């Protein structure tokens, strides 16, 4: 379960980046960081990559399905399911566990926003926080179903981790499945050959003795 160190690193990186963007205040430690004004946008790599601070109540890339509470509860269940599955496959290929650890880290990162940010920042009750997004990347100019897309939807570290984890899982899970099928077929073919060879093998001493006893004297 050492892949959970990766999960913890992703959560820490995601939350650190979000707090630096959103800002925070810890009065008893005399800590204060103003953050970036909500809705503002600053160039990082020209216009290709910008820091654009927005908040969304939905899923990754601003997708909103079922409302805030539903998404929060779904995230909790999904994170628990991924953790349990990681435990079950702890002896499986490393790349599969690595991919799931990335997905789990991203899921927990955004889950913290939804569960606690409303309370932490005085913006809403528990489970009703908004997810902080800030990575704004240029995209191809595309007209799709009447919509004009010129930039990728604003996302965060957690979103990127989930997306990369899913891509790795799809690519390598298929490869390992195909390899296991080939090994299984080779093993079954080898077993059938051994069985056939054994059935066609000449009789041993006991077989010779039996045949000699059947021969009339």
Looking at the annotation, which residues are catalytic? Answer: 133, 159
Q: Which of 128, 125, 133 is nearest to 67 (CA)?
A: 128
DSSP conformation letters of 11-58? HHHHHHHHHHHH-EEEGGGTEEE----TT-EEEEETTTEEEEEEEESS
Q: Which of 126, 132, 139, 121 is nearest to 20 (CA)?
A: 132
Spatial separation of the C-alpha atoms in residues 213 and 2, rounded to whole Å: 67
């Amino acid at each position: 379960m050492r892949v959970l160190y990766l999960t913890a690193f992703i959560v820490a990186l995601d939350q650190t980046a979000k707090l630096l963007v959103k800002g925070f205040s810890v009065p008893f430690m005399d800590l204060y960081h103003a953050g970036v004004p909500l809705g503002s946008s600053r160039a990082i790599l020209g216009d290709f990559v910008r820091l654009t601070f927005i908040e969304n109540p939905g899923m990754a890339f601003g997708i909103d399905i079922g409302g805030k509470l539903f998404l929060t509860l779904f995230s909790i269940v999904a994170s628990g399911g991924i953790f349990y599955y990681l435990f079950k496959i702890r002896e499986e290929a490393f790349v599969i566990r690595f991919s799931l650890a990335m997905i789990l880290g991203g899921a927990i990162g955004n889950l913290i926003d939804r569960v606690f940010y409303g309370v932490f920042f005085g913006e809403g009750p528990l489970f009703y926080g908004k997810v902080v997004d800030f990575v704004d990347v240029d995209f191809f100019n595309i007209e799709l179903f009447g919509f004009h897309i010129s930039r990728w939807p604003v996302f965060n570290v957690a979103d990127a981790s989930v997306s990369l984890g899913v891509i790795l899982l799809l690519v390598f899970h298929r490869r390992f499945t195909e390899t296991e099928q080939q090994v299984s077929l080779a093993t079954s073919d080898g077993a059938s050959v051994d069985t056939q060879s054994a059935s066609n093998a000449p009789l041993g001493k006991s077989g010779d003795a039996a045949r000699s006893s059947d021969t009339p004297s």
